[in-house]
Chain A
Amino acid sequence: MDFFTSLLNSMPGAAAQGLIWGIMAIGVYITYRILDVADLTVDGSLATGGAVCVVLTLNGVPAWLAVLAAVLAGLLAGLVTGLLHTACGIPAILAGILTQLALYSVNLRIMGYGTGGGKANLPVSVDKYQLVVSSRHVRTLGLKNPIFVLVIICIALVALLYWFFGTEIGCAIRATGANRNMSRAQGINTNVTTVLGLMISNGLVALAGALLSQYQGFSDINMGRGAIVIGLAAVIIGEVIFAKVFRNFALKLTAAIIGAIIYYVVIQFVLRLGLSTDDLKLLTALVVALFLTVPYWKGKYFTRPTVKKGGNNNA
């Protein structure tokens, strides 16, 4: 009985964390699924978001403004990766790794600003500052509950992105991910769209980082470690479960958020079962590897040979 009450007790926290990581997962979805680029900047930009947000809050900036500034910092990180990739011709995956590495130093610098030197961990107390979300209120009812705030933010984000990817620029970004040759032949500057996609993605990731730092009450230089894998896990879990029912773009984004929530619920579950937190990252990596392997093997070993020769008379 204890097991279930403690599990139940941990659910609000899992939901809140899932929602925050869901925003991060949408960022990953934009690069990994829409733009067809594996972007590893996110491990760095998540921490950048947290660092900027906490430092500005500690320096007297209103929390919501600090969150906005964090988004800007994320956009900037995406811009750097984008330029390394397009203007400098570095493969996307390496460009992301370079930015991520550079951000480690940058993040230490940011967290040192006005706080007395490079700090690896920076607490921000919900008692002293008006934070947007805090785990303190996760079990209270009312407007202060982070779940409520986060659901609103997620709905607004999905609506905004749904609109954006329906515009001419948004369509151009989608086309770039679908077929770069065709995009250029249709007059799309694929360098610009790629940079734009990376910026939006990292802006969202930094937003998640900012909210996460407020929620947990501190920003940490290592808070983004392995973030890409958690984001991927959320995207893939969402796809596996909802692929058949969610075809609309807004619903696909929602699926990524729900995927993140499921991920955190499952994590809580296995932790209660006695898994050490030290092994969490190993478990996450295994889960993602498994989910990526299954569709591949399915296609490779379990496909019936179909006769697909000759002409199509309808063509």
Chain B
Amino acid sequence: MSERDKDAISADELDRMSDDELVRLGTRLDDVRLVQYAERWPVPGTKMERRALRHVTGWFVLAGVSALALIGVFVFWPYEYLPPGAPGYQVRTLYTPMVGLTFGLTLLGLAVGAVAYAKKFLPQELAVQQRHSGSSSEADKRTVAAEFRDAGTRSGLQRRTLFRRVAATSAGLFGLGLGVMAIGPLVRDPWKHGDSPDSLWRTGWKPINGETVYLRLDTGDPDEVVLVRPEDLRAGGYVTVFPFRETDREEPERLHAALRRADSAVMLFRFRPGTTVTSRPGREDFHHGDFYAYSKVCTHLGCPASLYEQQTGRLLCPCHQSQFDVFAGAVPIFGPATRPLPELPITVGDDGYFVARGDFAEVVGPGFWELKP
């Protein structure tokens, strides 16, 4: 049926039609034919129907009860920490599961109820819709094209070439501006400030204005500053350290940030006396006695390579099983990592604390395009 057929139906005819007939007409106008459109319950109020309705209602009642229970659990269930074995521990461990259970039951009840209602009470419907042929009619195509041409001529835009160009150029420039705004922020030269501590070439250990960089422990409290002295480590021990500058002491944000910097984590080892240790060329004086400091960032994909075996001197990265030999300059001896862990040059300052003698001599962490092997 096309537009004309609709107009063929007079208002009187429409007035006389029942809702049922109007529905049939509407679907017919959309080229949809209802093959089957049967009531589920032709006789209302049967025992079967009432039972089906009870069934569906049950799901919504369940949802309502669970929702109330969810509120009750959330407000009243005890959740404060108690150690295992303490009276009340079992109840408290059930807090999260109970919240999840009541939350899930509520959602499930609503969803199953809705679907079950549709399955049991909506009419059984089988409809067939005609497919239309693909393109518009020839008349439609020609008339629309003519309308566009007419608009061009009548508005005078076709004639006024200069005006048209100026207007189009302005709009185009605005579009260009939008494009610049969208893409501009993506255009960056990460190598412009190659000497900044924030570039890929440098780390948080890079000395700034000649200020001493100490080795600092992470005690779990980011405001606490604990520096490391040689006697703090027993032979066969190791500890993870981060850079610290005296000017950061009163700056909580910088104290926190120093512990979170991805490239700053360094492992400080104290080898057992008598261990045969070889350094890589050019790094013979990076260590302080039995103390050696290596970057904790795996040179494969940047995981913390921190599984340290103090007798074999092997350092294992848990992500892809790269192994480094810290008794031999932390060179990779197994797994996908190809570059040694960079060594941090350290010494002990006048006040007895470990200090870094400078930044790493090479790039920390996984490789990137610009990194020449």
A and B: interacting chains: no
Measured CB to CB, the residues of B under 8 A from A are none
Measured CB to CB, the residues of A under 8 A from B are none
